[in-house]
Structure 1
Amino acid sequence: MFYSHYRTVDCALAAGYRLFDTAAVYQNELFLGYALRKLLPKHGLTREDVFVTTKLSPAALSGDLVADAFRKSFDNIGLDYIDLYLIHFPGAAKVNAQSPQNKELRIEAWKEFIKLYDQGKVKAIGVSNFTITHLTELIEATGIEPMVNQVEWHPHYFQPDLLQYCDSHNIRLQAYCSFGGLAVSNNTLMEETIVRQTYAKYKATPAQVLLAWSLQRGVAVIPKSLTPHRIKSNIQINFRLTQEDLAQLDTLGAANIKYSWDPKLVA
């Protein structure tokens, strides 16, 4: 695992990537931090040249657990500061999804996030997998809007109303699972006829088409890959989809296929 992470970070830095996304539940914060500390000088870069995101585990979604959880992540990564800290999920581990306790716990946690930000321990704070309802509750309870909401977003599953809400509240929507279920060995989205026709038209890869679709819809992306040639190609998007292409890809949303956990089930 160590060598794989190290090689991936090395390849990503060489290709021009500067944002690295990790989380407590991924159990790779330690590997990422080590790789960055060793590799930044190799590529002529400093800490300020990269942006590092990590996330609070659902097991630590409680006001009294945030400080220790953040300190552990901070120590694991071993850099001078964390750029972005996210609440990973609106529900707490071992709490029933429909329990009102989830709301109480995430508001408590968000208040602690605000303290971390005010104390200068993290440069930006946000959430992941939050619905409009979850976002509204946080804002109403604290008056502080998350800076980022990281959600599943791809042509098989996207939420224009959530994007509109985030835009109107100055919240940057950031996509994960941009390639659909590829991370769980499900190639359904990549093999859609519309996707295949579009990447053939642009002499691109399916991944490039899907990333371009998100970016042109105003959604930030964090493409995931361990394969060197895909890491390189994912950042080399030198075309723009036409409005007709975008509309055609939008029609895939009728499938409404979700590949990751569903926050709408969390009260």
Structure 2
Amino acid sequence: MQHQPPARDLPASWPPERTAWLNTGAPMPLLGLGTFRLRDREAVRLSLHAALENGYRLVDTAAVYGNEAAIGSALRELLPRCGLSREDIFLTSKLSPRDHGEAPTEAACLRSLQELGCDYLDLYLIHWPGTQGHPQGDKGNKERRQLSWRALERLHESGKLRAIGVSNYTIQHLRELLASCRVPPAVLQVEFHPQLAQSELLDFCRQKGIHLQAYSSLGTGQLVGRPEVVNVAERQGRTPAQVLLRWALRQGVSVIPKSASPARVAENSQLWNWDLTHADMEELSTLDCGKRYCWDPSSVA
């Protein structure tokens, strides 16, 4: 993770030790609320309220999640109630795979801003390196990605997107992007957990100043029952979920756990003032086997 002088002041509600610095010079919270499959308006409101009350300052959504309007509405209600403003929140959304291309990307981004009721986004990601409706091996994917990035660069330069990045990109996809871009990606968001440690990808991102952000930190819930995770949790007096999230944070990787349960949202925030030992990390490293619980982008041309 690359630390640089801040381009703007750190909001008072963001503790420095819970903050990453992007290659834009802007801060980003290390803990965020994921909202995948969180669509019901009341569920969104309850989860978001619990998150804000428990120190989450990043909210992650996407056009394909279908909840941008619900999140925007909830933030307008909850921020004043929690004594917060828009500037206290780091808001991320993502380009739908159906909207690749220069003009479609710009229109999609502006649509997300309208749905969320915002003048700007703190981060906007290309959600997937391929294009919906085209085979993964379609060689046109590369050109469409480049056109999408060109549109994001313009929106970034206009101030509507304070940072731009990608999701589900491989090292090869990143190399292609870095070879042609004017603005390098600030963030790569990928599936990342002890069974999919992606050490080569993490090293590459560190070398290039790209911040790695983890999704599916719990392996869609499958990892919390693994004996290795349970053993570490018992030694630490923590929950398996907290151990899995701390495993990523210890490597400088930010996390965006999702839960529809306010109690679980609060529990997942208890990640500070304790750490995993070297022995804990070694035990968890034995799980690494390249297992994916979500999507595999490696065959996307």
- Please state which band the TM-score falls in when normalised by the shorter chain: over 0.9
Q: How far is the alpha carbon of 1:64 from its aligned partner?
A: 2.1
CA–CA distance in structure 2, aligned partners of residues 23 and 259 of structure 1: 19
CA–CA distance in structure 1, aligned partners of residues 68 and 112 of structure 2: 7
Partner secondary structure for residue 82 of structure 1: coil
Structure 1 partner of 2:104: 65
CA–CA distance in structure 2, aligned partners of residues 142 and 258 of structure 1: 29
Structure 2 partner of 1:92: 131
Question: TM-score scaled by structure 2?
Answer: 0.85
Structure 2 partner of 1:154: 193
Partner secondary structure for residue 174 of structure 1: strand
5+ residue gaps, structure 2, are 1-39
Query: Is residue 275 of structure 2 the alignment partner of residue 245 of structure 1?
Result: no
For the 8 Å contact 2:119–2:160, the answer to whether it is kept is no
Deviations 1:22-67 (A, max 9, x none): 0000000000000001110000001100110000000001112111
Amino acid at match of 1:51: F
For the 8 Å contact 2:153–2:182, the answer to whether it is kept is no
Question: TM-score scaled by structure 1?
Answer: 0.96
Structure 1 partner of 2:177: 138
Structure 2 partner of 1:25: 64
CA–CA distance in structure 1, aligned partners of residues 275 and 79 of structure 2: 31
CA–CA distance in structure 1, aligned partners of residues 105 and 137 of structure 2: 22
Amino acid at match of 2:54: A
Q: How far is the alpha carbon of 1:95 from its aligned partner?
A: 0.8
CA–CA distance in structure 2, aligned partners of residues 95 and 77 of structure 1: 29
Deviates more, 1:232-241 or 1:70-79: 232-241
1:166 to 185, 202, 205: 205
2:251 to 217, 228, 253: 217
Amino acid at match of 1:235: S
Deviations 1:116-169 (A, max 9, x none): 101111111000000110011011112432000000000111211111111111
For the 8 Å contact 2:190–2:215, the answer to whether it is kept is yes
Q: How far is the alpha carbon of 1:181 from its aligned partner?
A: 2.1
Would you tell me which structure has more helix in proportion to its own residues?
1
CA–CA distance in structure 2, aligned partners of residues 109 and 163 of structure 1: 24
Structure 1 partner of 2:240: 206
User: Identical aligned pairs, as a percentage?
Assistant: 45
Structure 2 partner of 1:11: 50
Structure 2 partner of 1:47: 86
For the 8 Å contact 1:21–1:54, the answer to whether it is kept is yes
CA–CA distance in structure 1, aligned partners of residues 119 and 73 of structure 2: 13
5+ residue gaps, structure 1, are none
Amino acid at match of 1:208: Q
For the 8 Å contact 1:138–1:144, the answer to whether it is kept is no
Partner secondary structure for residue 196 of structure 1: helix
Structure 1 partner of 2:76: 37
CA–CA distance in structure 2, aligned partners of residues 142 and 51 of structure 1: 24
1:193 to 219, 224, 227: 227
Query: Is residue 148 of structure 2 the alignment partner of residue 109 of structure 1?
Result: yes
CA–CA distance in structure 1, aligned partners of residues 138 and 299 of structure 2: 10
Q: How far is the alpha carbon of 1:80 from its aligned partner?
A: 2.7
Deviations 1:188-240 (A, max 9, x none): x1111110111011110010000110111221111111111111111112321
Amino acid at match of 1:195: V
2:294 to 253, 260, 263: 260
CA–CA distance in structure 2, aligned partners of residues 8 and 92 of structure 1: 31
